[in-house]
Structure 1
Amino acid sequence: MSLFAFKNARIFTGLEFIDHQYLLTDGKTIIGIQENAPEGAQVIDCSDSIIAPGLIELQVYGGKGALFTTEPTPETIQKTYEEHLKGGTTHFQITYHTGPLSGMLAAIQACRSYRQQGGAGLVGLHLEGPYFNPVKKGAHLLSYIRKATIAELTALVEAADDLPLYLTLAPEEADPEVLEWLLSSPILLSAGHSNATYTEAIQAFDRGIGLVTHLFNAMSPFNSREPGLLGATLDSSVRASIIADGIHVDFASVRIAKKMMGDRLFLITDAVTEDTRGEYRFTINPERRRFEDENGTLSGSSLTLIEAVKNCVNEVGIPLEEALRMASLYPAQIIGKDHTLGRLGAGYEASFILFDQNFQMKGYHTEGKFTRI
């Protein structure tokens, strides 16, 4: 067994920082953290760096000019992995926009093929839509928004087989029998693109929906006489993702939500890429520093997860260790992978990142290989 010892870095385990020790791996698995390097270990100097668990992205749409919705192929997934790995993401859910059933099935097949070919990092497929409230469609195409049916959902689950599916839907738009079917299915549900009232949202949470997609965005807002989905999320025990880019959500709003939600709030990028080849056409608006569709609608970020962590620390005032958990441990818990991901400890997967005090990426360790940037 080949041993590797990483030295001269602050090691964040997912729980605490450890200084002046070695992180030991056998390539793909973490052996432990200790004061000395074992005899025969290959020592890797990580001076002036922080080592932290690899970041986990549950909502990303593409990379390197290829949007997964437009081109649902293993090659697009690989491009997304390569681009976002440089931003600290070692594991991710590729995401598919609101579209036809045929497109959703193609997305599932692409993910399954990618995994069968040994593709790295993919932990599942996020279907954002098509079961939305039309008034909260955001940049999604109205023509594809529809009511969920058990027949269509059954086709998705059967096609997915062992591929994890994560579905964002508007709970108020789902018929009771459909929602009951979904809650008993393998699909992980998240409420979003919803105009639910506070009561409708709380009822959905009480029935079993435990997640909310991109807090504040594309949802019924908090008002004094109707707290909406936002108010219900803050006033419950569900977890919610948030886009901490200062564009989708003001940093003060992130700070307020964090104070109220604590470890229930986690980070996503909702990142797209500049691609105008298909029905979803996104370009960067340099003046407004955001991606927009043809109508000028905010349509996704250009954020990386390490940038989101940086923003949480520098702009929101969240301690570094907690900001890192928001992008690693908490997403791992949500997808049921916290026994292998989100922490650095004996028996965990050796997926971790290196960055400096300015949040510049210095390297990453994935699939048994260390790469310097």
Structure 2
Amino acid sequence: MYALKNCKIYTSSKILEQHAIVIKDESILQIIPEEQIDSELSTVDMRGYSIAPSFVDIQIYGGGGSLFNSSTSIQTIQKTYQEIRRSGTSHFQITLSSTPLDKILEAIQVAKDYLAQGGKGLAGLHLEGPYFSFPKRGAHVAEFIRKPTNEELIQVVEASKGLPTYMTIAPEEFTKEQLEYLLDSHIIISAGHSSATYEQATEAFDKGIKRVTHLFNAMSQFQSREPGLVGATYDSDVWASIIPDGVHVSYPTVSISKKMMGERLFIITDAVTEDISGDYKFIHAGDRYVDTNGILSGSALSMIQGVINCYLKVGIPLDESLRMASTYPAQAIQQDQTLGKIEEGFQANMVIFNEDLEVQGIIEQGYLEWFLEI
């Protein structure tokens, strides 16, 4: 048991100074004024740095030069974890792009094996596709895009039981019965890569889809006579992820969306890594990744850079930008009872950063690691 002191604390609901965080084992035991620290308790001087809930990225495709689609392995998940934790992300959903059924089933088993072996940081598996609107497939491999079949859906649902699973679909591609089957399952459903009309999207939301994947990208846009999936998202109670890199969406677009959606809008990186070994080939192009045809394919964003962009480029207050990277995504994946806040009883997962918003270290389930010599 130990206490963190001499820090500015962004708890999610408050900003505290001259307070200490008491950590016992993997959890937060107390948040108390510094003068109340037990004299016999071990303390860590945080050198005046700021502390916030560590980040939760629910859409990332790999790391360290290894894509999950290309190398569907425990090693790829581990590489991704090791890379993103240095920018303050403690938990993530490894994401599989549209692919044949056998690869989906393999990815499910690999994610289960990673967790069974004590792998850290994995909040679940995000199946992005393959049941998309073909015109809105983006950089997903065309031959893998298909309509759902009852047989495939049953296999995916049954295989993924016991694994936190998130799936992005185009709801208009599903029959009423297929959509109800998914919504009755354990899988969290998000709308994306979709040509849905406003009416189709609103109907899907009314049925129970409460999330939208990378707002504006690969979906029907807000038009004067057809508000599309974007308009339906604005005009609803659903959450939506957004990629605030200034490439996938402009900063004014993020600002407008934030004003429209408030706490329902949260950050994802949609980050890939340079890997041309498989069906998905991503090439680093400065502030973005493109495929071999030059199509925008994924971001080069980190969660801390997403926070910085929301704060400095969009004008969202820092405490709210931090919530967009931690509290809200934890809520979106229904893990907000343990992640996304600095509160008594929550897991002790925190990012440490300086006044320039440079990550200095991370605390994961109570274990503190500094990244820089201090």
TM over 0.5: yes
Contact 1:150 1:181 in 2 (8 A): no
Amino acid at match of 1:241: S
Corresponding residue for residue 43 of structure 1: 43
Contact 2:347 2:366 in 1 (8 A): no
Amino acid at match of 1:258: K
Alpha-carbon distance in 2 for matches of 1:200, 1:29: 43
- Cα offset, 1:368, TM superposition: 3.0
Task: Report whether the alignment pairs 1:157 with 2:157.
Answer: yes
Task: Report whether the alignment pairs 1:305 with 2:303.
Answer: yes
Amino acid at match of 1:31: L
Alpha-carbon distance in 2 for matches of 1:340, 1:260: 28
1:120 is paired with a residue of what secondary structure? coil
> Which of residues 335, 345, 348 is equivalent to 2:346?
348
Corresponding residue for residue 317 of structure 1: 315
- Cα offset, 1:48, TM superposition: 2.9
Alpha-carbon distance in 2 for matches of 1:27, 1:365: 12
Corresponding residue for residue 359 of structure 2: 361
2:71 is paired with a residue of what secondary structure? coil
Structure 1 vs Structure 2 CA RMSD: 0.9
- Cα offset, 1:40, TM superposition: 2.6
Amino acid at match of 1:127: L
Amino acid at match of 1:354: I
- Cα offset, 1:38, TM superposition: 1.8
Alpha-carbon distance in 2 for matches of 1:41, 1:59: 39
Corresponding residue for residue 326 of structure 2: 328
Contact 1:190 1:211 in 2 (8 A): yes
2:153 is paired with a residue of what secondary structure? helix
Alpha-carbon distance in 2 for matches of 1:157, 1:183: 11
- Cα offset, 1:161, TM superposition: 2.1
1:266 is paired with a residue of what secondary structure? strand
Residue range with higher mean Cα deviation, 153-162 or 289-298: 153-162
- 1:53-132 matches, within 5 Å, as 53-132=53-132
Corresponding residue for residue 238 of structure 1: 238
Following superposition, which runs of at least 4 residues in structure 1 exceed 6 angstroms of deviation? none
Residue range with higher mean Cα deviation, 329-338 or 257-266: 329-338
- 1:264-303 matches, within 5 Å, as 264-286=264-286, 289-303=287-301
Alignment deviations for residues 243-274 of structure 1 (CA, whole Å, 9 cap, x no partner) = 00011000000000000000010110000000
Structure 2 residues not aligned, in runs of 5+:
none
Alignment deviations for residues 146-198 of structure 1 (CA, whole Å, 9 cap, x no partner) = 11122111111221221011000101111111111111111110000001111
- Cα offset, 1:27, TM superposition: 3.2
Amino acid at match of 1:61: Y
Amino acid at match of 1:38: D
Contact 1:120 1:367 in 2 (8 A): no
Q: Percent identity among equivalent residues?
A: 50
Corresponding residue for residue 259 of structure 2: 259
Contact 2:169 2:193 in 1 (8 A): yes
- 1:3-22 matches, within 5 Å, as 3-22=1-20
Q: How many residues matched?
A: 369
Alpha-carbon distance in 1 for matches of 2:111, 2:334: 19
Amino acid at match of 2:179: L
Alpha-carbon distance in 2 for matches of 1:42, 1:72: 42
Corresponding residue for residue 25 of structure 1: 23
- Cα offset, 1:43, TM superposition: 1.2
TM-score normalised by structure 1 residue count: 0.97
1:47 is paired with a residue of what secondary structure? coil
Contact 1:131 1:147 in 2 (8 A): yes
Contact 1:340 1:348 in 2 (8 A): yes
Amino acid at match of 2:93: Q
Amino acid at match of 1:302: A
Amino acid at match of 1:5: A
- 1:208-219 matches, within 5 Å, as 208-219=208-219
Residue range with higher mean Cα deviation, 137-146 or 336-345: 336-345
Alpha-carbon distance in 2 for matches of 1:247, 1:42: 46
Alpha-carbon distance in 2 for matches of 1:274, 1:240: 26
1:308 is paired with a residue of what secondary structure? helix
Structure 1 residues not aligned, in runs of 5+:
none
